[in-house]
């Protein structure tokens, strides 16, 4: 198994994260929850966005089944398939609350992906190493997540594309990452703030587990070059060349195969 504790410790050191990174896994059978140590089970319903907060702030390991989530949360997060009657009720709730017409609500619901359903879900602090996750959720402020994205791009550049569903923002992070296999940045929605206690300066980046090491390695390389978090402010009236350019500009120009300007 991957040494998630060491990777998490490095990530937290480099970014000074305020809460624990979260590991998410979909299980095929409910019985698989019994194999996970110190797991908490509940007999009542949650909104899905409450669960990452219990994990990242409280350090809990939580197992969920279909009975723990309302239809919309269960459908998109991997606990139930499409249900026509439930979908009709969800459509009504969406257009009477968030949209000007049923037409707009239908467009929203048709646009969102869903994780294929399994029998159960488990979420835990990543550092606990209790299972190999399907997706890692990292909460931080925009500067922290920007630096992590730069770390991901450092040794394997790709221009990432992100989405905004509006309400139901776990679709833009967790679900998008699961179905695409790509990092997914999410702007937390009303429910994540109201029920999930996401604070005003927080965003969430969902990562495929295999990319966390890449991000940490990139952050280390950027650290050695002086690009670190927290980012020190520089006076807006000053010349940025004094800190953005290497001291030996001529040598750098030769290294890059051209003259320095």
The model's pTM: 0.91
| Alpha carbons 211 and 205: distance in angstroms, whole number | 12
Q: Helix, strand, coil proportions of the chain in percent (round to 5)? A: 45, 10, 45
| Alpha carbons 131 and 3: distance in angstroms, whole number | 11
Q: What is the mean pLDDT of the chain?
A: 92
> What is the band of 245 on the pLDDT scale with cuts at 50, 70, 90?
low
Contact 1, 35 (CB under 8 A): no
213 three-class SS:
helix
| Alpha carbons 5 and 97: distance in angstroms, whole number | 42
Where exactly are the structural domains of the chain? 4-224
For residue range 76-126, list pLDDT tens digits in order: 999 999 999 999 999 999 989 999 999 999 999 999 999 999 999 999 999
């Amino acid at each position: 198994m991957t040494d998630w504790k060491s990777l998490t410790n490095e990530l937290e050191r480099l970014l000074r994260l305020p809460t624990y990174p979260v590991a998410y896994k979909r299980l095929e059978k409910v019985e698989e929850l019994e194999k996970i140590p110190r797991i908490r089970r509940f007999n009542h319903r949650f909104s899905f966005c409450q669960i990452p907060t219990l994990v990242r702030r409280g350090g809990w390991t939580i197992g969920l089944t279909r009975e723990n989530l309302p239809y919309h949360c269960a459908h998109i997060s991997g606990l139930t398939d499409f249900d026509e009657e439930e979908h009709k009720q969800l459509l009504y709730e969406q257009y009477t609350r968030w949209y000007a017409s049923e037409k707009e609500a239908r467009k929203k619901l048709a646009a969102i992906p869903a994780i294929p359903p399994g029998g159960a879900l488990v979420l835990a602090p990543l550092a606990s190493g209790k299972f190999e996750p399907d997706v890692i959720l990292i909460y931080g402020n925009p500067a922290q997540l920007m630096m992590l994205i730069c770390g991901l791009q450092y040794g394997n550049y790709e221009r990432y594309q992100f989405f905004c569903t509006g309400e139901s923002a776990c679709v833009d992070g967790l679900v998008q990452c699961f179905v695409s296999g790509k990092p997914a940045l999410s702007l937390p929605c009303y429910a994540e703030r109201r029920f999930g206690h996401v604070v005003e300066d927080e965003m969430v980046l969902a990562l495929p587990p295999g990319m966390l090491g890449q991000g940490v390695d990139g952050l280390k390389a950027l650290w050695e070059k002086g690009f670190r978090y927290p980012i020190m402010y520089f006076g807006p009236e000053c010349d940025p060349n004094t800190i953005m350019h290497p001291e030996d500009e001529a040598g750098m120009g030769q290294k890059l195969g051209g003259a320095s300007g």
